[in-house]
């Protein structure tokens, strides 16, 4: 490996001495700085030529995040790692989102792990991203190489191995449970259970019993003892979906378990212990819920060890072709695909229901038409109309394509609405008339083309990219 130039920015002499000895022993050239002022001096005097900068988050005269932004703005090729204590892990995650390659947690006890983390940053980063993308796909998380999800997954993969609770925030249908399962699968608890509970789907009267279990005879209908989710998830991960829906009494009990690790079954007297990692998910802004006194602030602090925000589908339209291709091949292998014009419409729709809505549209469309190729006219009328109304689509799809798709969608809707019932419906007539309509449309287009070219069929065939024989066939000429 080439001799790497490393800058260590830390105000504690013991730490700079440690890294100087540790990195030089690994063949690196090491420069140290004790404050932000020295870093700025290196930049201003053109002495900054480092492959890696290890920066402490808290310096006497600077914030490590500010230095990160300064370095990445002028020297994007320089990799940056933030050094931090456990209490500031949220800031470390922010650093990754702002361009840091990773973060190092103090104290640096495991030297083998430290060496692996530091030197892995030069091991084909593109390959690392591809490997992470393949791992994410195993859990149904699909995204393109330039997607906003790339950074989200990088952060998630690093957080997975940390002993810290995680709050996943995102709109309905963005894949919060898939992300939770990915984090569990990449964690040191992966060999233990992943147990999920939707806090908004279970009636309040039953939620306590579902979470903590109950003893036989604890209430009417409790004919035998039952283990709750806390017991089932012991040593593993408990996923609290839509945790913002949890009623206040349950919030109090959740807080106690998270603080003490202890709980009791409903109707029980014996204290049970739990060793659980909590991953929570919500489509609400819990800070606003706290402000409105609908959610406990102390519970939010416990749940939100680190917050991971999933982007909506409209923020990642370039991921849609990858998601569609993956899903169609998985659900309908070799049976159906989506044509380019339809894909453009899918990319320009705003998807209020996100990925869940996209997959539902694909399923419904295939169920209705059972076609080998899903075309624009097969898509729901409302979707087509809204997508065509997006200014961003004007450059992506030719104007005449937009006109045809809009008119076709309106025609399909109009005809369908005029059918009161399928009782005594002449289906064969509709099929025959639709075929006639296709002939009438293309014949009129040919007639218009001949008028424009003054009956020059060779010129028209070049313009339409069809043969003169095809023109004769359309005009029903022998």
Count Cα neighbours of 282 within 13 Å in the Cβ-side half-sphere.
Answer: 18
CATH of the domain at 14: 3.40.50.2300
Q: Are residues 268 and 407 in the same domain?
A: no
The rounded distance, in Å, linking the Cα atoms of 102 and 81 is 5
Q: Are residues 346 and 284 in the same domain?
A: no
Indicate whether 39 belongs to any domain.
yes
Q: Are residues 409 and 438 in the same domain?
A: no
Indicate whether 348 belongs to any domain.
yes
The rounded distance, in Å, linking the Cα atoms of 160 and 167 is 12
CATH of the domain at 399: 1.10.8.60
Instruction: Give the tens place of pLDDT for each residue, 278-288.
Output: 999 999 999 99
Q: Are residues 222 and 104 in the same domain?
A: no
Burial of 67 per CB tally in 10 Å (0-12, 13-18, 19+): buried
CATH of the domain at 138: 3.40.50.300
Indicate whether 31 belongs to any domain.
yes
Q: Among residues 102, 124, 146, which one ends one of the domains?
A: 124
Q: Among residues 98, 124, 150, which one ends one of the domains?
A: 124
Find out whether 293 and 253 touch, Cβ atoms under 8 Å: no
User: Stretch 469-475: mean pLDDT, rounded?
Assistant: 85
Q: List, edge to edge, every strand of the sheet that includes 29-33.
A: 29-33, 5-9, 52-56, 79-84, 102-105
* pLDDT (0 to 100) of residue 102: 84
Q: Are residues 189 and 283 in the same domain?
A: yes
* Domain count along the chain: 4
* pLDDT (0 to 100) of residue 125: 65
Q: Please, which residues bridge with residue 413 across strands?
A: none
Q: Among residues 309, 344, 364, which one ends one of the domains?
A: 309
Q: Are residues 442 and 327 in the same domain?
A: no
Nearest-5° Cα angle at 33, 25 to 117 = 45
Q: Are residues 327 and 244 in the same domain?
A: no
Q: Are residues 34 and 153 in the same domain?
A: no
Q: Are residues 293 and 441 in the same domain?
A: no
Indicate whether 422 belongs to any domain.
no
CA distances from 135 to 53, 297, 309, 311 (A): 29, 35, 19, 19
User: Stretch 158-173: mean pLDDT, rounded?
Assistant: 91
Q: Are residues 292 and 390 in the same domain?
A: no
With b for 16 or more beta-carbon neighbours within 10 A and e for fewer, the 449-459 pattern comes to: bbeeeeeebee
Q: What global pTM score does this model have?
A: 0.76
Instruction: Give the tens place of pLDDT for each residue, 363-384.
Output: 999 998 888 999 988 999 889 8
Q: Are residues 294 and 180 in the same domain?
A: yes
User: Stretch 179-204: mean pLDDT, rounded?
Assistant: 94
Q: Are residues 26 and 80 in the same domain?
A: yes
For 10, the domain range is 5-124
Instruction: Give the tens place of pLDDT for each residue, 49-72.
Output: 999 999 999 999 999 999 999 999
The rounded distance, in Å, linking the Cα atoms of 58 and 54 is 12
Higher-confidence position of 398 and 287? 287
Share of the chain above pLDDT 90, in %: 53
> Distance between alpha carbon 196 and the CA centroid of its chain, in Å?
19
Q: Which segment, 126-135, 358-367, 431-440, is predicted with the most confidence on average?
A: 358-367
């Amino acid at each position: 490996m080439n001799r790497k130039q490393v800058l260590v920015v830390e105000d504690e002499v013991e730490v700079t001495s440690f890294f100087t000895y540790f990195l030089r022993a690994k063949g690196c050239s090491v420069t140290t700085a004790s404050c932000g002022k020295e870093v700025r001096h290196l930049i201003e005097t053109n002495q900054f030529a480092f492959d890696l900068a290890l920066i402490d988050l808290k310096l006497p005269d600077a914030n490590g995040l500010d230095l990160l932004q300064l370095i990445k703005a002028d020297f994007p090729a320089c990799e940056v790692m933030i050094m931090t204590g456990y209490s500031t892990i949220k800031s470390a995650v922010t650093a990754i989102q702002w361009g840091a390659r990773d973060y190092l947690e103090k104290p640096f006890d495991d030297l083998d792990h430290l060496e692996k983390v530091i030197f892995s940053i030069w091991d084909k980063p593109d390959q690392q991203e591809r490997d992470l993308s393949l791992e994410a796909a195993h859990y149904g998380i699909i995204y393109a190489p330039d997607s906003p999800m790339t950074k989200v997954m990088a952060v998630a993969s690093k957080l997975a191995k940390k002993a810290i609770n995680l709050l996943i925030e995102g709109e309905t249908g963005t894949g919060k449970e898939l992300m939770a399962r990915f984090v569990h699968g990449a964690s040191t608890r992966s060999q233990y259970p992943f147990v999920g509970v939707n806090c908004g789907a279970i009636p309040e009267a039953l939620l306590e019993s579902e979470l903590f279990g109950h003893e036989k005879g604890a209430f009417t209908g409790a004919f035998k003892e039952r283990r709750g989710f806390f017991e089932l998830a012991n040593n593993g991960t408990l996923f609290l979906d839509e945790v913002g829906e949890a009623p206040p009494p349950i919030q109090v009990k959740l807080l106690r378990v998270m603080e003490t690790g202890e709980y009791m079954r409903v109707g029980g007297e014996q204290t049970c212990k739990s060793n659980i990692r909590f991953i929570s998910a919500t489509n609400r802004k819990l800070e606003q819920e706290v402000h409105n006194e609908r959610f406990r602030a102390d519970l939010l602090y416990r749940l939100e060890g680190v917050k991971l925000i999933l982007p909506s589908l409209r923020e990642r339209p370039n991921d849609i072709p990858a998601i569609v291709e993956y899903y169609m091949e998985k659900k309908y292998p070799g049976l159906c695909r989506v044509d380019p014009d339809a894909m453009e419409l899918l990319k320009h729709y705003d998807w209020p229901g996100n990925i869940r809505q996209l997959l539902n549209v694909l399923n419904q469309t295939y169920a209705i038409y059972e076609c080998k190729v899903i075309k624009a006219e097969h898509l729901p009328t409302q979707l087509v109309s809204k997508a065509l109304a997006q200014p961003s689509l004007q450059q992506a799809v030719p104007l005449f394509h937009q006109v045809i798709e809009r008119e076709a969608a309106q025609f399909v809707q109009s005809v369908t609405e005029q059918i009161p019932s399928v009782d005594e419906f002449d289906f064969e007539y509709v099929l025959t008339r639709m075929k006639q309509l296709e002939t009438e449309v293309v014949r009129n287009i040919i007639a218009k083309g001949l008028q424009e070219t003054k009956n020059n069929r060779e010129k028209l065939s070049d313009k339409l990219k069809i043969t003169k024989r095809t023109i004769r066939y359309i005009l029903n000429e022998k």
